[in-house]
Amino acid sequence: MFKIVTPLILLLMLTGVYLGRVHREQVPAGVAAYHARIREAIASVPYGLGPWVGVDREISAGALRILDANVSLSRTYRNLETGRSATLLIVHGSDVRSLLGHYPPVCYHNQGWTQRTARPVSLAVDGSAVDATEYGFTYESAGDSAQLAVLHFTVLPNRKTSPDMSSLEIAAREGSSKYLGAASIQFIVDAALSDAERNVEYEFLLKAALPWISVVESGIESVPEA
């Protein structure tokens, strides 16, 4: 009897573990509709805001496949009064895990840029606050050089933003909620500007992106857990 019961109990235990894992990994109902709202909401990012006028730029199709992009946007704004430019780069990944490891210190390094600086930046616009990290990069080639300042933060579907990848790493382990995805946002400006001048441009870009960000943040509220 013992030899018969033990394998049976083991089988039942393994079946229970498997079913529990399937339950945890099940995509929550409503995710497709939530992702569709995120795609539709990208139209809320304005082409013009005050003296700023935006022009869209193409993002590599290969990069979007790697990031499992639900929606993306790359828009360069020019200030008609000052002549300065600033770029808003948005990627919403359908699965949190697809964004892990993809952030400025890695991606810009892979394109030949050298990171020189990193500093925390806190922004507040229209009652919304964001903590981000600004990276300074330089590029040297054939006697020529360039420099960029890149402000980066992530947006999660739980009303939280993060200045680094730590929150994404946690979300990637949180069962079915990882299928809600997350957003990676970059503000790219001239590194030669002063800290205060760069912050002004960052605040403009945040103001432009806020309506879309609010849709991404609403995920947990609008999508019930499986």
Question: What is the tens place of the pLDDT at every residue in 140-173?
Answer: 887 788 999 999 999 999 878 999 988 888 888 8
Q: Distance between CA 166 and CA 185 in Å, rounded?
A: 15
Which parts of 42-160 fold into alpha helices (H)?
A: 61-66, 104-110
CA-based end-to-end distance of the chain: 40
pLDDT in tens, 18-67: 333 333 457 777 899 999 999 999 999 999 999 999 999 998 888 888 88
Q: Alpha-carbon torsion 78, 79, 82, 84, what sign?
A: negative
Are 77 and 52 contacting, i.e. CB atoms less than 8 angstroms apart?
Answer: yes
Q: Distance between CA 127 and CA 103 in Å, rounded?
A: 26
pTM of the model: 0.84
Q: Residue 99: is its pLDDT beyond 80? A: yes
Residues 6 or more apart whose CB falls under 8 angstroms from that of 143 comprise none
Say what the pLDDT of residue 63 is. Answer: 82
3-state secondary structure of 39: helix
Are 158 and 213 contacting, i.e. CB atoms less than 8 angstroms apart?
Answer: no
Q: Which amino acid is at 38?
A: I
> Would you give the DSSP letter of residue 28?
P
Say what the pLDDT of residue 210 is. Answer: 96
Name the residue ranges covered by the structural domains of the chain.
Answer: 28-222
Q: Alpha-carbon torsion 61, 212, 40, 25, what sign?
A: positive
